[in-house]
Amino acid sequence: MSDASAAPVIVWFRQDLRVADNPALAHAARMGRPVVPLYILDDQTAGPWAPGGASRWWLHHSLSALGGALCDLGAPLVLRHGRADVALRTLVREVGADAVVWNRCYEPHAIARDSALKADLKADGIAVDTFNAALLAEPWTVKTGSGGPYKVFTPFWRCVREGLEPGPPLPAPTRLTAPAAPPAGDRLADWALLPTRPDWAGGLRDHWTPGERDATRRLTDFLAHAVDRYPEGRDYPAQPLTSRLSPHLHFGEISPRQIWAATEGRGGIGVESFQRELGWREFCHHLLYHFPFLPEQPLNPRFEAFAWDGNAGHLAAWQRGRTGYPIVDAGMRELWTTGWMHNRVRMIVGSFLVKHLLLPWTAGQAWFWDTLVDADLANNAASWQWIAGCGADAAPYFRVFNPVLQGEKFDARGEYVRRWVPELAGLPDRVLHQPWMADPVTLRAAGVRLGHDYPHPIVDHKAARQRALDTFAAIKDDNG
């Protein structure tokens, strides 16, 4: 039983917006004191990596769901905004707390902020306990034989698997006690996280339900209906064979330990392939922890001399899904409408940006940061560097995806393109992925006027590929 007269403990929520398998919350509940759950909207400390538009939409609904769950447990969620160190210390004084707990974050700005705040609180006599709630293995625990960080995924994942003992997920507390006089907080609506005019979030609402409950439902449905076909089916964007758990994982509505517990022991190559994707997420966080410059600078320093193009018109065409390459445009329109993009298509549109258009990977990273509901600093930076050829274990820069062949291979019947590029829906499969090859009769029959209803390609594939290879050869020659 909780002693309502005891000094309360503050549980600072961040990227762990759930009540089950939440080590910080479970620890606070075991302390037998009043609990003050807290979320701080801290855009100042995050700087350029404050949540983008799609992430803010998700955050609003995720906090609403978490607030409801905590109210049901007996301890309302307190919302504050501003610098996290200031807001947290203010609340400590207001409620007379003598303990603060949180689950660790791994972004460079969060590590710096949390380390300083932890030291300050302890200097003031406040007990601070922190926990791992976001990763199967924390970045500093996985080392090469020489004691350094891994830069290649396969040996990294092998090392993690060999030492993995995540333990069972923690149950949600059955009851929490709030202080006799709960502190005041902001109204979620006053944070204006949702778009107003124009309201561009209709597609997000149609495709997503943020919150712990839907995260659990998605995992259950995926394991019941899709995981056995995942190894092959995950490459075909028209097929619903991916888990779509990435935003739920980023916001901590479900933990990797919960996913691991649900999959371990099932066996089969589908489960192994899916678990390997959890491993890639772990690898990205490993890289960001050991190389905190990852979102701004190439891991391979040779690429600092790369002669990127600065064509703003090409960037805008890519962002709007108006490149003239149907599989690329379908992906970019899916992203804008739903806040998400199929992983195979992410590789295609990423390769097109950095290799066909010679636009810097940081431009793609920034657009994804604003438009993805699963925008995650570690995954976003590491994956963009991978596709650009300048990161860890990267795809070679000279591997240039042919967007026509990619479309014909992974969307052979055109279901994906016809959904997201409906102006081309009437074209036959043989020219759907290269409409410029259709004869005038076929175009008229499909109601397509190239240059009016749908653009001509903004670059020629063969010429763009050669330009990319020549540009790469220049830095290769300069650096030996």
Active site residues: 277, 280, 308, 343, 361, 384
The C-alpha atoms of residue 225 and residue 243 are separated, in whole angstroms, by: 10
How crowded is residue 79: how many other Cβ atoms within 10 Å of its Cβ? Answer: 20
| Residue 99: its H or E element | strand 99-103
Strand pairing report for 35-41 and 9-13: parallel
The C-alpha atoms of residue 340 and residue 318 are separated, in whole angstroms, by: 16
Strand pairing report for 35-41 and 78-81: parallel
Residue 36: strand, helix, or coil = strand
Which residues have a Cβ under 8 Å from the Cβ of 175 and sit 6 or more positions away?
Answer: 29, 73, 74
What is the widest separation between alpha-carbon atoms in the chain?
Answer: 82
Determine the distance from the C-alpha atom of residue 291 to the mean position of all C-alpha atoms in its chain, rounded to a whole number. Answer: 18
What's the token pair of residue 279?
Answer: 């491993």
Handedness of CA 204, 207, 209, 214 (dihedral sign): negative
The C-alpha atoms of residue 458 and residue 464 are separated, in whole angstroms, by: 10
Instruction: Report the chain's C-alpha Rg in angstroms.
Output: 24
